[in-house]
Structure 1
Amino acid sequence: MAFGITFENKTNELKTTLTDLKIKVPEIESAAIVSIEGLPIASVLPQEIEEARLAAMTAAMLSLGERVAQEMQRGELEKIFIEGTYGYIITTAAGQNAVLTVSARKEAKLGLVFLDMARAAQEVERQLT
């Protein structure tokens, strides 16, 4: 018999945080927590999105974004924002070693998305420590 929090319990707790975020902001279609090394930690994704591939692409965006921010003397990277024809992909820090990435439909109110993402990222940071 094991005591304490298991990896599975931690993953379920993180997935609950992601699900709660999607409930608060219905325009959010997917959400993932990814390590800064590009490894998936937890996600709530549509079936057609491969978790490992999203994690790797998120890490690549993060690396490039950090280099651009440094090169352009904009300070520490805080958020990556991509706008496409059908919506947005937003990545923000969730502690020192992870990021929260979401995709949202075009009709999403970005202020609310950013606010609820910030709250979720703080919760994820707490859960990962």
Structure 2
Amino acid sequence: MLKELESSVPEIEAAAVVSVEGLPIASALPRDIEETRLAAMTAAMLSLGERVIEEMRKGRIERVFVEGSEGTIISMNAGPNAVLTCSSRKDAKLGLIFLEMGRAARKIADIL
């Protein structure tokens, strides 16, 4: 499913599904990225985002988006027990990524 996501949006460079506890479930990552470390950071980032949204009374979290000088990291819930994270190039069309990630997250939630 992650390879399908990457092929649907060529600007997606990597993708991972992790548990909300920070454990890796599945990934399509470059060899130099440590899966377990990324899983822990991803779960922590989304958890913190949820707390900030709650504290600021902004409803339910949709996604966490971190923009760097060379690209973006986007994380969103994939059901109650998993998080989908993608890394994209700087020139990526974010609307398309959000759409495709949402589709993939729903499929992942159905499977898990």
Common fold by TM > 0.5: yes
Cα distance, 1:64 vs. partner? 1.1
Q: 2:51 matched to which residue of 1?
A: 67
Letter in structure 1 aligned against 2:61: L
User: Which string of whole-angstrom CA distances, capped at 9 and with x for unpartnered residues, describes residues 59-89 of structure 1?
Assistant: 1102211111111111222210011001110
Contact 2:46 2:76 in 1 (8 A): no
User: Which string of whole-angstrom CA distances, capped at 9 and with x for unpartnered residues, describes residues 34-63 of structure 1?
Assistant: 110101000000000000000000111022
TM-score w.r.t. length of structure 2: 0.97
Contact 2:16 2:27 in 1 (8 A): yes
Choose which of 75, 80, 98 in structure 2 pairs with 1:114.
98
Segments of 4+ moved more than 4 angstroms: none
Larger Rg: 1
Distance 1:59 1:77 in 2: 14
Distance 2:57 2:83 in 1: 22
Is 1:22 the counterpart of 2:6? The answer is: yes
Letter in structure 2 aligned against 1:87: G
CA-atom RMSD in angstroms:
0.7
Q: Percent identity?
A: 63
Unaligned runs of 5+ in 2: none
Partner of 1:62: helix, strand, or coil? helix
Distance 1:64 1:121 in 2: 19
Q: 1:52 matched to which residue of 2?
A: 36
